[in-house]
Amino acid sequence: MTRISDLLSAGRTYSFEFFPPKSDREQLVLSQSLLELQPLGPSFVSVTYRGGAESRLRTQNLVTGMLHTSTLVPMAHLVCVAHSRLELAEILVSLRRAGIENVLALGGDPSSDPDSSPRELEHAIELVELARAIGGFSIGVAAHPSGHPASADLASDRDRLAEKLALADFAITQFFFEAEEYFGLVSDLAERSMHKPVLPGIMPVTGLSSIPRMARMGAAVPQWMVARLESAAKAGGDDGVVRCGVELATELCQALLEGGAPGLHFYTLNRSSATRDIYRALGLAPQLSGMRADSA
């Protein structure tokens, strides 16, 4: 097993995020995506988790399966919601026993499950502390370039993030669309004497219908991007939007890498085509076929 903190110390990382399937159909889609993305040689992959016993089992099964049946380095997400402190400790112990060394500690959205356990840990920093107490983990946390929706203001959001990251090893951002948002976040952390790696999260816009949903998730697509996507739709329909979305994401990735970002983290939505296209456009795929990307 390889710790993500060690990978980041060695050089840039390129990583993918998946969610555990809820049906046989989703399982087939994910299996095909994993088959297509594994040859790209990602530094690590992460698996999301919404909270609750069923989601916990799906996440752990997928992460453990990746660890034992593939060359992928997996990271399990874990959330405070829907679990007592004891349950979270038991989950962390079970992950370690399964050989999992990488976790992303999250607060999580409020649970709608009436049978869920009371939330004893209010914030992700408490989950980081618990994982540290159990030991053996490389721990990541979430960062929001525009500030967490629950934060009173951006300055206090940055203060809490710096405190959380001081106990963790690295952060991964929510997706965003302009490089200045990421570099502003990194600069704000540096002003607080925090210099640990912050991986930018990348999600290409491949459909006009996804634009309102992204805004509801806290990352609004800027108007200049909307205009380019709408123009692409008029010229080339749905395929034109996909091509434009890949171009926009590639431009963002290039700016981030040129500016010194420690890597890229792709939100795949369990599909491979856009990520593979961006890799090719960045010139990463040919390098990864014969060597590690961070050694190129």
Q: What is the pLDDT of residue 290?
A: 36
Rounded to whole angstroms, the Cα distance separating 57 from 170 reads 25
The C-alpha atoms of residue 296 and residue 288 are separated, in whole angstroms, by 9
Distance CA 81, CA 118 (A): 8
Pick from 4, 19, 135: nearest CA to 79: 19
DSSP class of residue 293 equals: G
Give the number of C-alpha atoms closer than 13 A to the C-alpha of residue 14, restricted to the C-beta side.
24
Q: Is the pLDDT of residue 226 over 60?
A: yes
Q: Residue 60: pLDDT band by 50, 70, 90 thresholds?
A: confident
Q: Cβ(278)–Cβ(264) under 8 Å?
A: no
Q: pLDDT tens digits for 126-174?
A: 999 999 999 999 999 999 999 988 888 999 999 999 999 999 999 999 9
Mean pLDDT of 220-231: 96
Nearest to 147 by CA among 239, 229, 218: 218
Active-site residues: which are they? 17
Query: What are the residue boundaries of the structural domains of the chain, listed by start?
Result: 4-295
- Fold assignment, 4-295: TIM Barrel (3.20.20)
Q: Measured between alpha carbons, how far is 112 from 52 in angstroms, rounded to an integer?
A: 10
What does the pLDDT read at residue 216?
Answer: 87
Determine the average pLDDT of the residues in 190-200.
Answer: 98
Beta strands in 69-225 (DSSP E): 74-79, 102-106, 138-143, 170-175, 198-202
Q: pTM of the predicted model, to two decimals?
A: 0.91
